Structures are given as C-alpha cells and as structure tokens.
A and B are shown apart, each in its own frame.
Chain A
Amino acid sequence: MKAEVVIIGGGVIGASIARELSRYSLNIILIEKEDDVAMGTSKGNSGIIHAGYNDDFKTLKGELNIKSNPKFDKLCADLKIPFKRIGSLVIGFSEENFRKLKELKENGEKNGIKNLEIIRGHKLFELEPNLNPQAKYALYAPSAGIISPYKFTIALADNAVINGVKVLLETKAKDIRIKERQVCGVVTNRGLIETRTIINAAGLHADEIAKSAGDNFKINPLKGEYQLFDKQWGNLVNHILFPIPTKLSKGILVAPTVHNNLLIGPNSCRVKEKDDLSTTKAGTQEVYEGARKLIPHLPHQDLINYFAGLRADIEGRNDFIIEASKKIRGFINVAGIESPGLSSAPAIAEMVSGILKEVVKEISPQLELNYKDDFVEALPEQPKFADYLDKTGEWQEIVEKDADYGEIICRCEKVSKGEMIRAIHQPVPARSLDAIKRRIRAGMGRCQGGFCSPKVLKILSEELKISPLKITKKGKGSEILKTKTKEMIKEETGVKFKDEVRV
C-alpha cells in the first residue's frame, strides 16, 4: 500500500488534520488501532470549547485555542453536529479567588477576548439559580461552548473520507521505516504502508511512535473521572461552571451536555498505564464532592453513567508539541494535546497543514499541494428522530419514504432503525455496539442499552452479514455472546445433549 501522507491516530487531532489535508489533492491514509475513531482521549473528556483565557498567548495552547474558538459555529454547522455556545463561569468564593478571576480576565483580554466580564452578587444567581449560595464572584466568558467530542471526531473523519482520505481501522502502527534519515514507510499489523510523510497524532502513544523515529519525549497519562446524569437534569445549570483553576487543571466542572445530560468531572490523577480507564471509588467520591462545591444538590439517584479519560501530559513541558522532527525528514509530531486540545483542534490542523507544506517542499519538490476544486465542506443532513419530536409532520414524510425510520429501537434516546442502518454504512462505519452508541446514542440513555442492545446486535449482524457471535462491544476480544443455546443448536442440527436437564 502506498500513500503520500500517513496520519497515525484517529482522535480529534488526527481526524481534524485528515479533513484539513483532504482539501488538497493528496493521497492520504489515516490509521487507527481501535475499531473506531475517537477511541482515546477524544471520547473521555469534558467536551468544552474554551474561551481561551487560561493560557498565555505566547504558548501554542493559548494561541491555537483563541484562533479556533470562533471557527466552531460554521464547522459544526457544516458537519451537522450540535454545538452550543452557552458561555462559562469560573466561580469564586473569596477575595483571593476574586484576584485570580481578575488575573484570568486580564490574561484573556491580552489574548484578545473582548467580552469577558466579572459578575457578582444577585446577578450570579439570576444566571445560575442552583449555584452554591456562598459563591460571590464569577468570570463570565460568553464565547465558551459545549460539543460532543466523539461526534465531532467522527464527523471530521466522515468528511475526510468523503474527500478521499482512506481511514483504516484496527490498523496499528508497529514501526516507522526510515532510510537515510528520511521516512519511507510505516509498518502495521496489516502490512507496510509506503510513504514519505508521517503525521504522528497518536495521542497517549505519540511518544512511542516518535521514539521509533528517534524523537524523545515522554507522555504521562493523567486520568480524569466523570459522571453523567439523566437528561431531565441538563437544565440544573445554564452555563459551564468551573472552580478556580489550579496549575494542573481547570478543576471539576459542572455543565450540561449538548444532549442535555448533566456532566460533572474531571478529577486529576497520575496513572502508570496508558490503558487505565478504570474508575475508582475514591475518584467517584472526589468528583461528586468537587462538583457539589459548585452545585450543592446533585441528583445522585439519576446517575446514568460514569467513565474515565486520560490526558496526554508531556513530562516537563506545559505546551503542545507541533513540529517537524529535527532528526528525521518527513516526520511531524503533533503530541501532548491535552486541554485545550479539543478547543484548539481546527487551528492545530491548519498549523500542521502549514508545516506539511514546508516539509513537502524540502523532500518532494515535485509534489505540488493544490486545493481541490471538488472539496466537500459539509456533510449531508442526517435526520434524527429525537430532533423531530415537535416536527412530527416532517418525520412522517421520512417514514413514508423509508419505513425503517418509523421503527424505534432505542426507547430512551428515541432512535429509529433507519438511523442505525445509516450509522452502520456511513463513511467511517459503526461496527460495534459502542460505535453505534457514539454515532446515534442508542444505548446511551437511562437503561444503558438494557432494552435495545439485543436489537442493535441483531441489526449489526444483519447489516454486516456476520454471525451475532461475532458482534462486539468495542472491537475484537469484546464479543457480547459466547455460544448458541442448546435449544438453538438442536433446532439447527438435530443433535441431542446427554446432560439435558428437565425442570
């Protein structure tokens, strides 16, 4: 297999870069080791598009966040994913906190954010009636917003595929081939891909990939746990609420999600393993108690999910690494993309595109990077029943064209069979229960798939034309079912079992 550019990693960064580069007539392959994109940090984070007052403008974090923030309205409209600019409030309780808020405001203004405001007194509670009554001040940033980070990533990847990028799932980079200090290929579990340019967007594993190209930095995973509450509680807060940030993190936030659930988290905990997504009792308590400092009455009886995500924190450095390797030609590192990585993704992709042009000039002068005429900016409209509950007449027309859209499979999130079939055949296809869940929310609701998972499994098996025994939760090794029942085997083969027990 051959490509002009190989992107390693299908997170929000890899997918953003893939989409940005698909504007050019280039042969691009994106490889992802899991069975879907958005399987690492991109699925386990707060889903916040930050205003950009936290970091210094002289850092990449500060610069790229500020540059990206205004782009999300159009980008999300094009990608047909929800984005809500609901604004954020950093809550202060003391004089000391007030000074910190002023500092943040000044920094934000230096960065060029114009509409920051410090709010105090009763106005605070008009904005947030359920806020801790002891709160005194808040830094209000109207430009902060919420997004579904995995939906964003999937849509970016879908759009890239439509524009010619090949996305290879369950394809793991094992080694980088180098010849005379020039990249010449990447070895994967599916064989060699010949290429002269590699973009390392491998998230938590970017240090391992960089190492095989001779670059040295170390990524230390920093775990954060989250809790998610039932949809009826999304209105408990109106904005993203942050505590006063620390050096290490922006703290345990309380925010609605774009689907109107209530999200709390993350804490911050060093872990050894890059696959340690386990939740802990202590973490659960820390997150709950932390969030209660902002919103004292949380609906613990309506907890519907909890999970952990890992930040890719680079040892000894408080900024992203986005640069061409100094040791190897044709190798670009995009690493250490922790918060505000999601918020910076569009500008990161543009920056990488610029770096790539320089690299290409040097190593393949014959390759001209020209904009394609036929770049498709937007994804087609993908109607979801849940969005049509007040427009039933319009949905009626959809059902009349395709009856699958009249069969509701997931009762909690109101997802039709038609949407499910569409997700299984979209550009980056859903092939597991979790992949379906991330695309169309079937199984994401209060019953967590208790009712719909047998039905979703059946539809996956029919559409992919494979046995139900092969359907997984999240890729190979996570098969849901073990064997057929005796009854079924008997029916199919006529075999009798010796140990048959009658009750």
Chain B
Amino acid sequence: MKLEYDLVIIGGGPAGLAVALEAKRNAVKDILLLERDKYLGGILPQCIHNGFGLQYFKEELTGPEYAERFISKLKECQIDIKTETMVIKITPDKRIVAINRDDGLLHIQAKAVVLAMGCRERTREAIAIPGNRPAGIFTAGTAQRYINIEGYIPGREVVVLGSGDIGMIMARRMTLEGARVKAVLEIMPFSTGLIRNKVQCLDDFNIPLKFNHTITRIKGEKRVERVTVAQVDKNLQLIPETEEEISCDTILLSVGLIPENELTREVGIKLDPVTRGPIVNENRETEIEGIFACGNVLHVHDLADFVTEEGEIVGRAVGEYLKRNRKFRSQSIKIVPGDDIAYVVPQHIDFIIPGRKKIKIFMRVKKPAERVRINLLDDEGRILGSYKKRIVTPGEMVSVYLPEVLLDDKLKNITISIKRD
C-alpha cells in the first residue's frame, strides 16, 4: 500500500472527519484517516440521543445521524481510510507507526499530521473513592457502549456520581431501559454539564440531582451493594453527620474527561497543564510545525458541533501549511487566562493572515456567574475589548472574538479575565 501522504489524521471521530473534509476542500491531495475502532464517528455512534447539529446544521440530529452526514460525504471524496488501525508511535519528523490485522505494521511518512484522538473518562481509580472494588462500577461512557452498541444493560439500581453530560444522559437512558436511578450526586454547587441536559434528562424524569454531595464509600464484595453518600461544605470537606446509605447495584461515573495525549507526549509536544491538551496557536498547530491538534484531544468540548468547527479550522490551516505561504508575526502574542478563567484556546497567535478580521478565542470559566464582562487586557492592564455575558458556567464553553485591528506588533500578551458587570 501507499506509505506517503500529505496529511495523516489520527482519529476518525467528529474532529478527524471535519479535518478530512475541510482539508480536501482546501486542495490537500493525499489524505489518510486512521481510526482504531471498527467504525468511523468516534463516540457519536453510541450517542443515540438527540441534541447534535443544532449549531452546525441548524437542525436537531442524533449522534449517529450527525456522524453519517460527514461519513457519507467522506466516502465521495478520495480519502484513504483505515479502520481498526491503532497508531502506536509518531516521530517529530512525522513518521507514523500503526498496526492492524490486514497490514500488520504500517510505517507511514506524512507531511502534516493531525492529532484527533479524543479523550477518555476519568475513572473511579483516578478520584480514589474509598471502599471495595466490586463489579458494577462503570464510567458513564462505558455503560453507554454496553447499552447502545452491545445491547446489554449493566445494572438495575443506579447511583450516578458527577453531573457531566454523559452522566445525565445515561441517567435518562438507564431509566428508559427500566432501571431505577436513585440519585445523581454532584460535589460542586452547580452542574458541570449543559443546562439543557439537566432539564431534559433529570428534571423531566424526576431524577434527584443532589449538589454538594459525593460518594464516601463503596460497599459490596463481588457486586456493588450500596454506597455511602455525604454532603460537603464550601471547601469540599465532608460533613460526617450528613452521611447516609443508598442501596444500589451500579455506580455510573461522570467525573470529567481527559484528553488522550499519550502519543502527543511521546513525540515531545508540550501540554497545557489545565486543558491537558497540547499548547497551540490559532491554527491549532502544536509546537512542532505541521503537527496539529483538534477536538477533545486539544480540550474537552461541550458539543460535537464545536469540535467540527475546530476540525475545519485545522483543515484550512493544513492547506495553508502545505502551500508554504504562511507569514509569521514578528513575535507571537500569548493569550493568558486571567481572573476566574480556567483556560483559553488557542494559547498564542503566530500568524499574519491578510483579510482576517477576527480570531475566535474559546475558554472555560472557573465558576458560575451572572451579568459579567469578559475583558481583554494588554500588558499594561488596558482594556482592549469587553464583552457582556448574561450567564457563564464551567459546564458551557465561552467564546469571544478578538478583533484583528487590536493586534499590533508591540503586543506580547493578551490577558482574558472576568469582571462583574
């Protein structure tokens, strides 16, 4: 088989699919898409609920439908696709080693590489819940795969820990399959998922959501038998007298997602300690020229639609990169998260692009707030721009546009911070 490509995309989820199509539109010729699972779409095929596409297609689709829109288009293009193929190594000079049943080991040379490996779920082990280690503890996404792909229900009486989106969606899904979801516990005083999921998945099904609560102990030797739950105070410390037991045979965890950057780290690319994804410029290009990253491997997104948008940024950027007609700024401008901002993406701006009017900056806030202003400040603390937001919450990504006219050559840093209006 062919072993040299202009572009190799690692991961065939929503990010990789968008990159492939957009790169093709931008005249990138030889493209190879590598996917480790049997099918394309990443996590979308198991997300049989609706809510996809409202932003991108302006209509409501299920996960599989959303994926299919891209997959069917992809099949019309001349793009090489290899599924059930696992990438095991990337080198800084863009050689890729992958493996599958039919070819065995593949050694591929690429001119550009896009990292689109997605993310994994935080586990019970990572958050060290005390107690036994029986069967019946699942991350919400694993339970979702068992139900929607494999066709089996992993439990009958369920406690969900964490109010992440998949957790809330799975609380509804398990209920529809006849299980009893006894509670969704959230250690923070606010939901970490989308507001619409709280309404549609929990409130509509009378599933109680307990804020400031967590699991303090898991009991059951072979299978989960019950959990001890307790309230926490403002500093997330347990309030012992609030402890109570809930009997259940299953615990679903929705306690955060972690970008899967093992390949990235091994190739030597620096990661942002907050996003746990690579540090990138406005093209989503990592510190190694020609290696790009997008989607949940870069930072965890709320909506597949936003992932698609980011994939398209990369698709265009790869086109520019391969044409070799890019113009760098005399110095890179750092975008720095300021007061109450957890992180920003991109982390720096490197290019002069004729005709560009604004750059979209994505961020997550540290805590919920109402009636705020998001301010862009220069090195002297002068406000370059200011945007009103009615509500911000850590569960929903915030974006602002940075006008190109503000970017002068002397600017070193732009700090983004939140202020009460």
Contact in complex: B152, A450 (CB < 8 Å): no
Contact in complex: B155, A450 (CB < 8 Å): no
A216 adjacent to chain B (CB < 8 Å): no
Which residue of A303, A396, A449, A458 is within 8 Å of B104 (Cβ)?
A396
Contact in complex: B125, A305 (CB < 8 Å): yes
Q: How far is the CA of A482 from the CA of B100 in the complex (A)?
A: 33
Closest Cβ of chain B to A455, distance in Å, is 9
A307 adjacent to chain B (CB < 8 Å): yes
Q: In residues 142-159 of chain B, which contact A (Cβ within 8 Å)? A: 142, 145-147, 149-156
Closest Cβ of chain A to B121, distance in Å, is 5
Which residue of B146, B176, B178, B249 is within 8 Å of A454 (Cβ)?
B146
Q: Mark A271-306, 1 if CB is under 8 A from B, else 0.
A: 000010111110110000000000000000001111
In the complex, the chain A residue whose C-beta lies closest to that of B129 is: A279
What does DSSP make chain B's interface, helix, strand, loop or mixed? mixed
B361 adjacent to chain A (CB < 8 Å): no
Contact in complex: B104, A399 (CB < 8 Å): yes
Closest Cβ of chain B to A306, distance in Å, is 6
A82 adjacent to chain B (CB < 8 Å): no
Q: How far is the CA of A314 from the CA of B61 in the complex (A)?
A: 64
A414 adjacent to chain B (CB < 8 Å): yes
B88 adjacent to chain A (CB < 8 Å): yes
In the complex, the chain B residue whose C-beta lies closest to that of A280 is: B130
Which residue of B89, B152, B176, B178 is within 8 Å of A469 (Cβ)?
B152
Which residue of B99, B126, B152 is within 8 Å of A303 (Cβ)?
B126
Contact in complex: B130, A281 (CB < 8 Å): yes
A495 adjacent to chain B (CB < 8 Å): no
**Which stretch (B69-77, B216-224, B299-307, B381-389) binds chain A?**
B216-224
Closest Cβ of chain A to B220, distance in Å, is 9
Contact in complex: A407, B84 (CB < 8 Å): yes
A248 adjacent to chain B (CB < 8 Å): no
Q: How far is the CA of A326 from the CA of B147 in the complex (A)?
A: 58
Q: How far is the CA of A476 from the CA of B222 in the complex (A)?
A: 8
Q: In residues 101-154 of chain B, which contact A (Cβ within 8 Å)? A: 101-105, 107, 120-121, 123-126, 128, 130-135, 139, 141-142, 145-147, 149-154
* Residues in A neighbouring B265, C-beta threshold 8 A: 232
Contact in complex: A284, B89 (CB < 8 Å): no
Contact in complex: B133, A485 (CB < 8 Å): no
Q: Mark B49-66, 1 if CB is under 8 A from A, else 0.
A: 110000000000000000
Which residue of A277, A448, A458, A501 is within 8 Å of B123 (Cβ)?
A448
Q: In residues 400-430 of chain A, which contact B (Cβ within 8 Å)? A: 400, 403-404, 406-408, 411-412, 414
Contact in complex: A307, B223 (CB < 8 Å): no
Contact in complex: A279, B131 (CB < 8 Å): yes
Q: Mark A245-284, 1 if CB is under 8 A from B, else 0.
A: 0000000000000000000000000000001011111011
- Given A406-B101, A408-B36, A485-B151: A477 and B125 within 8 A (CB)? no
Which residue of B36, B99, B223 is within 8 Å of A477 (Cβ)?
B223
Contact in complex: B121, A396 (CB < 8 Å): no
Which residue of A280, A479, A486 is within 8 Å of B135 (Cβ)?
A479
Which residue of A408, A453, A485, A499 is within 8 Å of B152 (Cβ)?
A485
A233 adjacent to chain B (CB < 8 Å): no
B194 adjacent to chain A (CB < 8 Å): no
Closest Cβ of chain A to B150, distance in Å, is 6
Q: How far is the CA of A453 from the CA of B146 in the complex (A)?
A: 10
The 8 closest A-B pairs by CB, nearest first: A477-B222, A488-B151, A473-B135, A399-B104, A478-B135, A408-B86, A478-B222, A403-B101
B-side residues, CB < 8 A to A, are 36, 49-50, 84, 86, 88-89, 97, 99-105, 107, 120-121, 123-126, 128, 130-135, 139, 141-142, 145-147, 149-156, 172, 176-178, 216-217, 219, 221-223, 249, 262, 265
20 more A-B contacts (CB under 8 A) besides A406-B103, A411-B36?
A227-B128, A277-B132, A277-B133, A278-B132, A278-B217, A304-B125, A305-B125, A392-B97, A406-B101, A407-B84, A446-B120, A446-B262, A447-B121, A454-B145, A458-B150, A468-B150, A480-B146, A482-B249, A483-B153, A484-B153
27 contacts between A and B (CB under 8 A): A278-B219, A284-B128, A304-B125, A306-B125, A307-B133, A392-B107, A395-B105, A399-B104, A403-B101, A406-B101, A407-B101, A408-B88, A414-B88, A448-B124, A454-B146, A454-B149, A454-B150, A473-B134, A473-B135, A479-B135, A483-B152, A483-B153, A484-B151, A484-B152, A486-B178, A499-B178, A503-B50
A-side residues, CB < 8 A to B, are 227, 232, 275, 277-281, 283-284, 303-307, 385, 389, 392-393, 395-396, 399-400, 403-404, 406-408, 411-412, 414, 446-451, 453-454, 457-458, 468-469, 472-488, 499, 501, 503
